[in-house]
Amino acid sequence: MVCVYDSGVGGVSTLMALRRLVPTVDVCYLGDTARVPYGPRDAATVCRYATEALDYLAALRPEAILVACGTVSTVALPHLRGRYPLPVYGVAEAGIRAAAALGARRLAVLGTEATVRSGIFARRLSECLPSAEVRSVACPLFVALAEAGLTAPDDPLPRLVAERTLAPLFDLEPEAILLACTHFPWLSPHVRRLFPTAHLIDCGAAAAAALAPTLGERGRGECRFLVTDGSEAFRRLYGRLTGDAAPPLVETVALS
């Protein structure tokens, strides 16, 4: 069994990518919905939340944990390596490698405030692609829109938010756009509409692709959903975003 963890519903995009690659893997998904969003919070707070969530998941004895959260991957994971006797993967390195492999000359990184403030994506990309121009933009309203289920391609609200938020990228004309937050793939049609020729890189999907071949254990493709608040609301939101007419049952758990 593999655990997948995010602050909310963002990591479901990563979970879906993993299940497409390894449909027989059993997964336990945790969304820390009582405390989403993580992006505007201080690094120390994100580290505390992540430690509580990972301690909880490690006690379930999974084969591996995939932190399907760009914020935790950049802000907390570097401090938590070695705390757990099992592999704990983030989404940052896989996303950076996928972006570097494209060899783009103009790159945009879309993340939460905490991810952009950490500077990790921009720094690592500049190391991998020294002559590339890299510009980072914080998109906190994308997280709010995904958590509200307001992502439909024909909805004028996310369209307007995308236009305003991504305006600082218009003159860059990015060749590649790294979605460094797992909530953002839910809004990718709105990003694509503004930058139709850019490659969109989903760092959660890239991490799922890196994890899939390492998984030894196979199960029956079961998926257990845990949240820290609002299990019914999460179930409805899951159904709305994934189009699943019979969304799974969701349990509420306390992390500490």
CA R_g for the chain: 17
Catalytic residue among 3, 28, 47, 69: 69
Both tokens assigned to 240: 């709305």
Q: Is 181 in the site for ligand DGL (CB under 6 A)?
A: yes
- How many of the other CB atoms lie within 10 Å of CB of 84? 14
Catalytic status, residue 69: yes
Stretch that binds ligand DGL, among 122-130, 166-174, 181-189, 209-217 (CB under 6 A): 181-189
For the question of residue 28 being annotated catalytic, the response is: no
**Part of the chain binding ligand DGL (CB under 6 A), chosen from 125-133, 160-168, 179-187, 223-231:** 179-187
Determine the Cα angle at 182 with ends 121 and 36, to 5°: 105
What is the C-alpha separation between 207 and 209, in angstroms, rounded?
Answer: 5
Contact by Cβ (8 Å): 37, 144: yes
37 binds ligand DGL (CB under 6 A): yes
Cβ closest to ligand DGL, residue 39 vs residue 158:
39
Contact range with ligand DGL by CB under 6 A, out of 52-60, 68-76, 152-160, 191-199: 68-76
Taking CB under 6 A as the criterion, the residue among 70, 95, 185, 247 binding ligand DGL is 70
Q: Least distance from C-beta 6 to ligand DGL, angstroms? A: 5
Helix axes 140-147, 156-166, angle to 10 degrees: 160
Looking at residue 148, its amino acid is A
Q: In sequence order, which residues have a C-beta less than 8 Å from that of residue 245 and are 6 or more positions away?
A: 239
Residues forming contacts to ligand DGL in the complex (CB under 6 A) are 6-8, 10, 36-39, 69-71, 112, 115, 143, 181-183
Q: Annotated active-site positions, please? A: 69, 181
